[in-house]
Each structure stands twice: as C-alpha cells, then as structure tokens.
Structure 1
Amino acid sequence: MGLAERRRTLGYSQEKLAELVAVDRTTVGRWERGAIQPQPPQRRRLALALEVSLPELDALLLPPQVASGKAIGHQSAQSHDAGDPDEMIRREFLRILTISGALTILPVEEAEALVDGVRRGEAADFARMNGHLWQVYQLARSKGSVYPVVRDQLATLTHALAGHRGSPRPLLNAAADLFQLAGEVAFDGSRYADAAASYTLAASVSKDADAHDLWACALVRHAYVDMSGCRYQRAAQMLGAAARLAERGDSQLSTRHWVASVQAEAFAGLGDLDACERAMDQAERVRDLPGDHISGGWLRFDGARLVEERGSRYVQLGRLDLAEQALQEALGQTALASGPSYRRRAAVLVDLAAIGAKRRDPDQVVAYGAEALGLARTSGSGYVARRLRSLCDELGPLRGDRRVAELEAAIGVLNTQ
C-alpha cells in the first residue's frame, strides 16, 4: 500500500489531507509521486492524519520500485545504480533519524548540506556524517536499522576515494571510522564473521592512513569477537598489539585507556586477577586526561562505565562481594543516565542475576533477570540477548525453581533484530 492508497482508504481527498497536515495540496501530490519527502515535523503530522506509526509511514513513502519488493537494505548492485544515490542517501539518512527519535541531533538543513558535501567528496563532511551516524547508532533501539545508510555511505566513500586527487589520508580515516561502525552493527546482530571482516578492513585502512588510534580501536573491537567465543588468549594477544599501537597514537585521546579496560576483561576470562586489576587501574587514569579526549564516534571511552566494568570483571573472577558492591553503584548510575541506556543497564542486571545464580538465590536471579529480559525485548539488542543466554549457563540446579525455569524458557525464545 502506498501513500495515495492509504489516503483513499481513509476517505480523504488530497485537499483534506493537505488541510490536516497544514501543507498545500500540490505538496501532497508530490509526496504521493515520490518527487519529494515530507520534512520531519510534517512526517509526524502526516502519520497522525493517516493513523499510522512513523515506521509504517516510511513504508508508505517508499518509491514504487522499492515498495514492490526491492527494499533499500536488500537491493542488488544493479538496482542501487539505477536510482539517484545522492537522493537515496539523503532520504535514508533522514529516515534513520526519524525512526531512531534522534531528530534533535541534526537539523534537516544541515543534513542536506552534509549530503551535498558528501556528493562532492569532501572529507570533512564524510567525517561529520560519520559522527552523526555513530550518534544515531547509539540512540537507535534497533541497531540494525542503521545498516542501510551505513552501507550507502560506504559505497559513496569508495566512489570518492576512486576519484580523489591529492592526499587520500582524510578519506581513509573516514573509511576506517565507517568500517568500525559497520562492524558494530554486525556484532550487535550476532553476525560475527561480518563483524570480524569489517574490523579487519578498518584496521587495514587505518594502517594505510598511518592512523594509530583508529588502528588500535579496530583491533579492540576485533578482540570482542574473540571474547564472545571465550577465546580469551587470542583476544589478549590482539589487545597487546592494540596497546602498542595506542602508545604511538595521540596521548591526549583515551585510546590506551580503552585498550586497558578491554584487556581487563580478557585477563578476567583467563582467571588472572592481578593482571585484571592492573589493567583496570590503567583504565581509571582516563579521568586524568584534559579536555575532550574522545572522538564521539569510533572512540567513545570516557570512563563513565568503569564501575560496572569492574563489577563485571569481578563476577568473571568469582569475587562476588566486590562485584555486587560495584554493580549496585553502577545500577544507580544507569538509572540516572540521560537518554536510552538499554545495553548498559541490561548488562549490569545480567551480572547481578549471575551473582544470584552463583549464590543459588532464585529470587535474585528472577528479579534482575526478568528486568534484563524486558530491556532485551524493548531494544532488540543482540548483545543483551547474548548476555542473557550466558546467564542460562549459570543456572544449574536453580532450574528446579518454576520461576527460574520460566525465565530460562523466555530467554530461549528471545527474538532480536
């Protein structure tokens, strides 16, 4: 069903719909032909008038060739080339902003200006667009919803690199940044091979650009793929390489401290308490850095989550009293955090539930596990789902408790996007 069909289903003429949305009748006609797209404030009024949600409105606004089955996220190379890539990127970028509720991040006029700069191959505009995409990714409930525009941005960046004259380093930096975001989207969706491939590409491009901090961060993200499969020794080796690269990077950035915080997780997985605590202490020194020490995109480590990370490491090491003290403090912090923090709060809840499992306390398991399950359903996060499934491995004899068994069953059928 398209926009015009939905309008007729409700018994509206173009004039009536235009009156409801406070636009001219010709504007409605252009929307229905796909000549232009509604601006964000108009989208909300249009969705209300048509009695649909914003995502449903986006489906109604799809061009005819897309609505007939060639969805943007699944187009072939031939269908991608057949359209106007600049218009598609603009439309997709605005669509992602609308879906994620992140409209306050970027005014429409600035989005249009950015797309124009991207079309011209301006490295600075690629970098700014990437920064906005990272913000959208952080705010989006469904991380996979960001993928289509990331893919199209990569295609446009590749085209810009092919025709670029002069030093390619700024564009290579933008490519390394974007490959890391593509990897994050894949990792959250539990597509580990795709994530590893993206991180490998990010590392390779960073090396070509001689960008040590970007390179180190790509290796850190790759190490998470290994740790998801409990390959802690391999992860520790990769993180050692990342640490050496970070030492050659910008000392005013937080790269080396992020590397240390992830090394702590690898050491905890290996059962090495002393090495874990040394790494956490190194990560804590991020608080001594002056000014703005994060990129806002590929490097977001500011130490805000160190309390919960320390608690999680103590859970891994079986130091439950130390873990619970840190995690309760972290739980209070996530309750006060501004904006969505589903993954962060859910991770703390799963760790507290895991402590209950180790103590054979079904009440604690159910109380914290059920809340984490609710956040997993709300966010559609593959990361939260993985954490919950790891909790199931800890349940043991507690499965005899009806409530625990019901929680495990609900986790078993959890669907994520």
Structure 2
Amino acid sequence: MPIQRGIVASQVRFLNLHEYQSKQIMAKHDINVQRFEIADSVDQAERAARNLNAEEIVIKAQIHAGGRGKGEFSSGLKSGVHLTKDPAKVPGIVEQMLGYKLKTKQTTGDGVLVRKVMVAEALDIAKETYFAILMDRESGGPVMVGSPDGGVDIEQVAETNPDHIFQMPIDITTGPTKAQTREMAKNLGFTGKNVEEASEQMQNLYKLFLDVDAVQVEINPFGLTPQNRVVCFDAKISFDDNAAFKHPDLQAMRDTTEEDPREVAADAVGLNYVGMEGNIGCLVNGAGLALATMDIIKLYGAQPANFLDVGGGATSEQVSQAFKILTEDQNVKTILVNIFAGIASCLTVAQGIVAALKEGPKIKIPIVVRLQGNHVEEGKACLRNSGLNIVAIDDLDEAATESVRLANA
C-alpha cells in the first residue's frame, strides 16, 4: 500500500491549516497536545508566555511551509522555531518574526510573511513514533499506519526499514476496535500503562478523522514525554473537499494570504486552477483532458503555464473569469483552449471566450481554440462572427503545434 502524504490539508482547493489550527481541532477531541496560545503582536506573545507558566517556552512562526526550524527571516533572525526558559526574552524574538518574511526550503521567492506566532509549552520527547489514519484505495476504506520510528519522513522509513511499518485496515462501520489500537500501540513500542493511553489517543484520533471528514490524519511524532505522557506533538490533517459544504467552521479557518491569488480567484468561481511556470496558458474542460493537453504541449517542445479545468458544466461567466486569470500571468504568450463538450456546449464556451475578450482588457496574445462535441458548429460560428483574432483549429495536434509556434514567435 502506498503511503499517502499531505499537510494539514486539502480543499476547498487544498485547505491548508496552520499548526495551531490543527492543534485546536485536536484539543476539542480530547487529544493530548502541548498547551499553547496564538499571538499576532509582541504584547500578546509576551502575555502568552507568562500565562503558560511553563518551564520552557517554544515560539513557532505560523506559515504553511515546512522546514521552519532551518529557515531564515528577512530580519536576519535564524530559524522559525525558538526555545527559551525566560518569558522576558519572548518579545525580542517575536519582534524579529512578526511582519518579516520567513524563507525555508519549501517557500518560493524571498519567503512568506509571518503574521502569527504560536507560543507554546515546550515538551521534551523521550520516545518518538509515527501514527496515521488515512483513506486507502486498496483497502477500500480507512487504515491505521504506524511505525516505532517517528520524527522522520515515513517514506524514508518505508525505504530503509519496511518491516518497521505496521498497517491495519479499519472497518468503517464500526471503527477500530480497542484490540486493534492496543496492538498498534504495542507495535509502536509502548509498554505498561502507556499502551492503554496510546490506544485511547488513537481512538480519539479516529473520532476526529470521522468528525471532520478527513482523508488523512498524520501524527509525527506520536510521542512520549519524560513524564510518561503520550502526546501528539505535530499534526497534519487532510480534508475531503467533497465534504467541505458540511464544515463551514473549517472553511472559515482558511488563510488565503499564502495562496496564489489566481488560485483563490479561480476557486471563488468554481474553477480548478494550478499555476505553473510555462508560457502557454491552458483552458480545458475535464481534468483528464487538461492533463493530456499539458502533455501534448510538452511533447511539441513548450511548457504549460497552468492546469485549468473549467469542468463539464462550465458557464460563460466561468470561462470569462478563466480568461482573465490566464491573461494576468505575464509569462503566458499564447492561450490554448481545448474543449470536448458533453454537458457544457461548445456554444457556451465560445460565448464565454467572446465575452472575456470584448468586455475585459484588450488581450494582445494569440488565442488558439479547438472545439469538439456538443453544439460544435454553433460554437465555431460564434467565434467566426465575433470579429476577434482567434485561430480555430479542429485537430488537437495541429492546435498544439500552432500554439507552440505562436508562443515562440
């Protein structure tokens, strides 16, 4: 069974939660997490540090990217994770975090602006293990995955010590039995009373998994403190986007400030858009066709600038918005529209194209359109009668080669 990965997250178009948000959800489900407060000002951080009354405090910059511990701030401060035993030192650290960009191995450009920090009780880890619950195609339902080797990427464990990975399918109608979670706890190396505590935490994690309609809940490390307490030290939660309508509270947690504004704009009108670095903008209906269109562009020597699926029931308004998003990308030198109409008609798509080109800012780059399927002749007529500079081509290979030629001209 392949191990699935994902942070904190999936939709509405990959809903990313910050670490503190994941821990808030976990705490509500009686899952052991470190005590913490969130702060968006130096004064708040100082109060939080004193309120915690902890032996040691950890301050963590809250961004969606990983590798915070080895990152660097535009202020010059090294690392997005700092430890101190003196609450009086917290303001000086936070001053160099808030309002500055943190660059890590996972961020792009000059980093991500830090708007919040988590001030938490620092807990020592006496034992690190890995535990996750995820949906698995092969099992046809949820599975528990565990390893006594925590604190590292599970892919690394799978490669170097595959016998250290334990998997248990879960009956989705009954959930994991206590016998299963106890067995998993023992597989992870817990002994004595910690077997029961770890088992109980696994049961609570499964309840969270169901309550939020997750496709994955990953705890790494799922650990033990020197005081012999089982704690979930770090969490990554991935949500089922098809169940998003059931969880407006989760959607309200979405922080779009770190997302590509084009992807946010596309999501707002129900478009599936992912920005890339090529020079040919793609507008396609259907995910499979979109991927095939990107492949054929690469086959003929160019690079797609995006993945953009307007869906089977695309409206003229959605097509119009899609064009606006594509033309805002300065790297796009040509737009290739590839429509195989079934539910949506070629006429609807053509009307959206014409509306976008006539009503929006003047588009100077060439546009190649390939229409096939439902109401194709009406769609072509709409494009011809528009008076716009559109290259209409029936054959996909020809449309792709012409797009590449125009982009390189």
Of Structure 1 and Structure 2, which has the larger fraction of its residues in strand?
2
- Structure with bigger RCO (C-alpha 8 Å, 6+ apart): 2
Is the TM value for this pair above 0.5?
no
Q: Tell me the TM-score normalised to structure 2 length.
A: 0.27
Q: Tell me the TM-score normalised to structure 1 length.
A: 0.27
The structure with the largest alpha-carbon Rg is 2
